[in-house]
Chain A
Amino acid sequence: MVVKKPYRILVVDDEPDLEPLILQRMRRKIRSGSYSFEFARNGVEALEMLNIHQDIDMVVSDINMPQMDGLTLLEQIPKVDPDIRSIIISAYGDMKNIRTAMNRGAFDFVTKPLDFEDLQVTIDRTLRHLEEWREALASRDKLVALQNELDVASSTQQSILPKVFPRSADYQVFGHMEPARNVGGDFYDVIRLEGGRIGLAIADVSDKGVPAALFMMSSRTLLKGAAIGTADPGEALREVNELLYEENETMMFVTVLYSIYNPETGRLTYSNGGHDAPMLVRSDGSSELLPLTGGVALGVAPDLDFPSSTVDLAHGDTILLYTDGITEAMNADGEQFGVGRMHEVFAENPPENSEQAAKAMFEAVKEFVGDTPQSDDITCLVVRRHEESS
C-alpha cells in the first residue's frame, strides 16, 4: 500500500503561544499522519522555510508581524511556488486587511481569537482544493507526454509509407493513407520484385500508439524480406506469420493482404491474412470483391497456411486494396460507409487511373462522414492495368 505523506502546513505568527496550541488542538490530525506543521515567526523566516522545505503545501499566516507582515508575505509566496495555498489570520471584523489579503491571492481567512474548528474546516477545504488542482495539473502533464508518444508513433508510421510509386506504359500504382487523429495501425508497401513484378501489401495492426507502430515496423520489414524470397504471396505470409508469432509477446496481430502483380501477363496473385477482400473495378465501372482465400490474421498462431488465388486483369481493370477505415467510416447517424457505397463510387464514374480512383474513394468517404471525427486510419492502395493503347 502506498502511504500518503502528511500535508505540510507552515504556520507564521510572532506569538509564541500559537505553536503549542496548534500542536495540541491538531494532535489527532498530526498523529493520524494527515498534517504536519512547521512554524515561523515572521514573513522573512517563512520565506526561508519555504525555500528549505520545498514540499510545504500551504501557509497559515498572521497579518501583523515584525520584519515582514502577512500581507507582504502573501505577495512573495507565489514567487517561491505559485501552487502553495495560503490562509490569512486576521483580527475579527478587520475587513480592510481581509479584503487586501483576498485580493493578494489568499485562498481564505480565519479570525482571531482562533476558532480551531473553523481553522480545521478551512485547512481541509484548502487542501481538498489543492488536491483537485494538482490532479488537473498532472493530467495536463500526462497529456503532453501522451501527445509526444502519439507524435512518435505517427512519424514512425508515416516514415514507412512509400510516397513514390512504380508506373510504366502498362500499369500504374498509387497508395495513400489518411491517418486518424490518434494514430491507427494501417500501412501499405510497394515492393519491386524480380522480372518487373510488383509486390503490393496493405495491412492493419490491431493496436494503436507506439507499441503498434513498432509492431508495424517489424511486420513491414519481415514482409519485405519474405516477399523478395518467394513468388507466392501465401508463402510470404506464412513466413511472416511464423516470425511474428515467435517474437510476439504483446499478442498484437496484423491483417495483411499481399499480392503480386505481373505486368507482363496482367495476372494478380494474392493471399489474405484476415484482411478485407480486394475490389476489382472494370473499365465500365462495374465492380466486385475478389473471393477471400481463407487465411487469418498474422502473429497469433503458428503453422498456419495462407492459400493464394489469382485473377487476370483485363486492360482498364483496377484493383483496390483498402483497410476497414473505409468500410467502417461512420457518419453522424452512426451508419457505416460499407462495401455497397464502395461499389457506387465507380458505378457512374469508372476509374481513369490509379491516383484518380484512390482519390475518388477518399472523396466519397469524406463526403459521407461529414464532420464526424475519423476514428481509424483510412488507407487505399490501387493498381490499374492501362487501357490498350489504340
Chain B
Amino acid sequence: MAALHRILIVDDEPDLEPLILRRMRRKIRAGLYEFLFAANGVKALEVLNERPDIDIVISDINMPEMDGLTLLEQIRKVDPNIRAIIVSAYGDMKNIRTAMRRGAVDFITKPIDFEDFEETLERTIIQLREWKVALLARDTMVSSQSESNPAAGA
C-alpha cells in the first residue's frame, strides 16, 4: 500500500539517504512516510513529473546542475500545492531569507538536527492536510454547482 505522505529529498551528498532512511524507519515501516531521493534540482523535477503524488520536497541549496533556490521557483510551476523546505548551512541567513521569500514554508540547518527535522516535517504535513481539505471542499463545491446548474457550466 502507498504510504500516507511522499517526501522527496534533494541533496548531492549520498550520505543523507541511508541516514534519513535509518532515522525515519519507524515512520516508514508504519506506512506514514515514503522517501524519494534526487541528487540535484534537475533530477528532482524529473521525479516530481513522474510522481504527481509527492507532497513535500526537502532540498539542499548548493548542488550541481540546478541549485535548491532555483528548484524552489520551478516547483511552484509543477504543482503550487507542493510544500518545500530548504536545508541550509547553519546561520546562512542570506540563503534562508531568499528561500523563504521564494515560497519555502520552512528551513532546517546542517548538520541536520533530526528532532527539528521531524518536528518541521510533521508541522508541514499538518498544515498541508488542512489546506488540502479546504481545497477539496472548494473543488467539490465547484463541481456540484456545475452539475446542479449545467447551463452555467457549459
Show the binding face of A for B, using Cβ within 8 Å. Answer: 92-93, 95, 99, 102-103, 105, 108-109, 111, 118, 121-122, 125, 133, 135-137, 139-140, 142-143, 146, 150, 181-183, 208-209, 375
Interface residues of B in 81-111 (CB under 8 A from A): 90-91, 93, 97, 100-101, 103, 106-107, 109
CB neighbours (8 Å) of B137 from chain A are: 136, 139-140, 143
Q: How large is the interface on B (under 10, 10 to 19, 20 to 34, 35 or more residues)?
A: 20 to 34
CB neighbours (8 Å) of A93 from chain B are: 91, 93
B129 at the A interface (CB under 8 A): no
CB neighbours (8 Å) of A99 from chain B are: 109, 116
**Closest residue of chain A to B139, judged by CB?**
A139
Contact yes or no, A182 B134, CB < 8 A:
no
Distance from A300 Cβ to chain B, minimum over Cβ atoms (Å): 16
Contact of A102 among B90, B120, B135 (CB under 8 A): B120
Contact yes or no, A208 B101, CB < 8 A:
no
Q: Provide the bound-state CA to CA distance between A182 and B123, in Å.
A: 36
Distance from B104 Cβ to chain A, minimum over Cβ atoms (Å): 9
Show the binding face of B for A, using Cβ within 8 Å. Answer: 90-91, 93, 97, 100-101, 103, 106-107, 109, 116, 119-120, 123, 131, 133-135, 137-138, 140-141, 144-145, 147-149
Q: Provide the bound-state CA to CA distance between A103 and B147, in Å.
A: 42
Contact yes or no, A103 B123, CB < 8 A:
yes
User: If the complex has contacts A182-B147, A375-B147, are A136 and B141 also in contact, measured as CB distance less than 8 A?
Assistant: no
List 10 A-B residue pairs with CB atoms under 8 Å apart, sorted by A's residue number. A99-B116, A103-B116, A125-B101, A133-B134, A136-B137, A140-B137, A143-B137, A146-B145, A181-B147, A208-B148
Contact yes or no, B116 A146, CB < 8 A:
no
Contact yes or no, B141 A111, CB < 8 A:
no
Contact yes or no, A137 B134, CB < 8 A:
yes
Contact yes or no, B93 A92, CB < 8 A:
yes
User: If the complex has contacts A103-B123, A208-B148, are A95 and B101 also in contact, measured as CB distance less than 8 A?
Assistant: no
User: If the complex has contacts A146-B144, A208-B148, are A102 and B101 also in contact, measured as CB distance less than 8 A?
Assistant: no
Contact yes or no, A105 B123, CB < 8 A:
yes
- A136-B135, A208-B148 are known; give 16 further A-B pairs, CB within 8 A: A92-B93, A93-B91, A93-B93, A102-B120, A109-B100, A111-B93, A118-B101, A133-B134, A136-B134, A139-B141, A140-B137, A143-B137, A146-B145, A150-B148, A183-B148, A209-B149
Contact yes or no, B144 A182, CB < 8 A:
yes
Q: Provide the bound-state CA to CA distance between A325 and B138, in Å.
A: 28
Q: Provide the bound-state CA to CA distance between A121 and B98, in Å.
A: 11
Contact yes or no, B141 A143, CB < 8 A:
yes
Contact yes or no, A122 B101, CB < 8 A:
yes
CB neighbours (8 Å) of A102 from chain B are: 106-107, 120
Contact of A95 among B106, B109, B123 (CB under 8 A): B109
Distance from A119 Cβ to chain B, minimum over Cβ atoms (Å): 11
Contact yes or no, A140 B144, CB < 8 A:
no
Q: Provide the bound-state CA to CA distance between A179 and B90, in Å.
A: 61
**Closest residue of chain A to B116, judged by CB?**
A99
Q: Provide the bound-state CA to CA distance between A164 and B140, in Å.
A: 36
**Closest residue of chain A to B147, judged by CB?**
A182
CB neighbours (8 Å) of A92 from chain B are: 93
Contact yes or no, B138 A103, CB < 8 A:
no
Contact of A208 among B100, B140, B149 (CB under 8 A): B149
Q: Provide the bound-state CA to CA distance between A133 and B120, in Å.
A: 20
Contact of B119 among A103, A109, A111, A150 (CB under 8 A): A103
Contact yes or no, A140 B134, CB < 8 A:
yes
Distance from B83 Cβ to chain A, minimum over Cβ atoms (Å): 12
CB neighbours (8 Å) of B147 from chain A are: 181-182, 375
Q: Provide the bound-state CA to CA distance between A30 and B124, in Å.
A: 32
CB neighbours (8 Å) of B106 from chain A are: 102
Q: Provide the bound-state CA to CA distance between A111 and B131, in Å.
A: 28
**Closest residue of chain A to B151, judged by CB?**
A207
Distance from B99 Cβ to chain A, minimum over Cβ atoms (Å): 11
Q: Provide the bound-state CA to CA distance between A102 and B106, in Å.
A: 7
Q: Provide the bound-state CA to CA distance between A133 and B134, in Å.
A: 8
CB neighbours (8 Å) of A122 from chain B are: 100-101
Contact yes or no, B148 A182, CB < 8 A:
yes
Distance from A206 Cβ to chain B, minimum over Cβ atoms (Å): 10
Contact of B140 among A95, A103, A143, A375 (CB under 8 A): A143
Contact of B148 among A118, A133, A143, A209 (CB under 8 A): A209
User: If the complex has contacts A95-B90, A95-B109, A99-B116, are A108 and B100 also in contact, measured as CB distance less than 8 A?
Assistant: yes
Q: Provide the bound-state CA to CA distance between A140 and B91, in Å.
A: 40
Distance from A361 Cβ to chain B, minimum over Cβ atoms (Å): 24
Contact yes or no, A146 B101, CB < 8 A:
no
